[in-house]
């Protein structure tokens, strides 16, 4: 029985990945790093520090430390979210429905913890979340299950009774490793990708979450 739903943040609640791309290009390019698209794809699912370390190894810069540069990226992303952040389709209705059903709601993200209130406040959804956790404080980020297991523990719900909502293969693998039921809502360009076939459920958007929940309830 699903007692809690744990959401990823970037790409699941908010379409912030273009903002991350823009911020990384601005910050790293200013340091002389050549941001090649084929390499940028690799950093999309990394933690901010891991991405900064990746680009430093690719093209070392002089001056600011890796952690300072990572902070610069986060600050730029925060600015962009405040300027133009919007909830992805179905997010607001899905959260309202789960709250009405008294399902516990948590957040498990690879993003730095400082961005969690920025996103939740911008979307006006902070009141729905009982627990919010960032991989920043875990030994390893996704695809490690650490942040999901920690979120479930803080919600006081067994992992097998949690539904994890993700948009990426990295997050999906993390949730599966945590022994959670999985729902993937991929970007439209990746919706038919075979890499998501092992998810328990797949939706085009969170607009259909209510119907999925009611279907699952009626077929238990």
SS3 per-residue string spanning the chain: CCCEEEECCECCCECCHHHHHHHHHHHHHCCCCCCCHHHHHHHCCCCHHHHHHHHHHHCCCCCCCHHHHHHHHHHHHHHHHHHHCCECCCHHHHHHHHHHCCCEEEEEECCCCCHHHHHHHHCCCHHHCCEEEEHHHCCCCCCCCHHHHHHHHHHCCCHHHEEEEECCHHHHHHHHHCCCEEEECCCHHHCCCHHHCCCCEECCCHHHHHHHHHHHHHCC
Domain holding 163: CATH number?
A: 3.40.50.1000
Mark whether 97 and 163 lie in a shared domain: yes
**Same-domain check for residues 59 and 79:** yes
Q: Are residues 149 and 94 in the same domain?
A: yes
What's the number of domains the chain is made of? Answer: 2
- Structural domain including 169 reads 4-15+86-218
Q: Catalytic site residue 34?
A: no
Q: Which residues of the chain are under the pLDDT cut of 50?
A: none
Residue 88: what pLDDT? 97
Query: 58, 84, 110 — which closes off a domain?
Result: 84
pLDDT of residue 220: 58
- pTM of the predicted protein model: 0.91
Do 134 and 69 share a structural domain? no
Give the model's pLDDT for residue 1.
Answer: 86
Task: Select which of 8, 71, 146, 167 is catalytic.
Answer: 8
Residues 99 and 71 in one domain: no
pLDDT at 219: 61
Q: Is position 146 annotated as part of the catalytic site?
A: no
User: What pLDDT digit, counting tens, does each position of 92-138 carry?
Assistant: 999 999 999 999 999 999 999 999 999 999 999 999 999 999 999 99
What local confidence, expressed as pLDDT, does residue 190 receive? 92
Domain identity same for 94 and 77: no
Residues 59 and 95 in one domain: no
Last residue of a domain, one of 36, 56, 84: 84
pLDDT at 32: 93
| 35 and 79 together in one domain | yes
Are 120 and 193 within one domain?
yes
């Amino acid at each position: 029985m699903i007692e809690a739903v744990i959401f990823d943040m970037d790409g699941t609640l908010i379409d912030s990945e273009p903002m991350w791309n823009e911020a990384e290009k601005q910050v790293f390019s200013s340091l002389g790093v050549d941001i090649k698209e084929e390499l940028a794809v690799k950093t999309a699912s990394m933690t901010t520090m891991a991405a900064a370390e990746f680009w430093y190894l690719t093209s070392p810069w002089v001056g600011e430390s890796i952690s300072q540069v990572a902070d610069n990226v986060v600050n730029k992303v925060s600015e962009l979210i405040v300027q133009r952040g919007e909830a992805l389709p179905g997010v607001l209705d899905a959260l309202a429905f789960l709250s009405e059903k008294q399902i516990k709601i948590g957040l498990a993200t690879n993003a730095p913890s400082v961005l969690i209130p920025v996103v939740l406040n911008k979307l006006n959804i902070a009141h729905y979340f009982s627990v919010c956790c960032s991989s920043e404080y875990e030994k390893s980020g996704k695809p490690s299950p650490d942040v999901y297991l920690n979120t479930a523990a803080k919600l006081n719900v067994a992992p097998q009774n949690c539904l994890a909502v993700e948009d990426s293969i990295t997050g999906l693998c993390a949730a599966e490793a945590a022994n959670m039921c999985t729902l993937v809502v991929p970007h439209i360009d990746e919706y038919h990708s075979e890499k998501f076939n092992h998810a328990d459920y797949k939706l085009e958007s969170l607009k259909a979450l209510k119907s999925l929940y009611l279907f699952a309830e009626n077929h238990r």
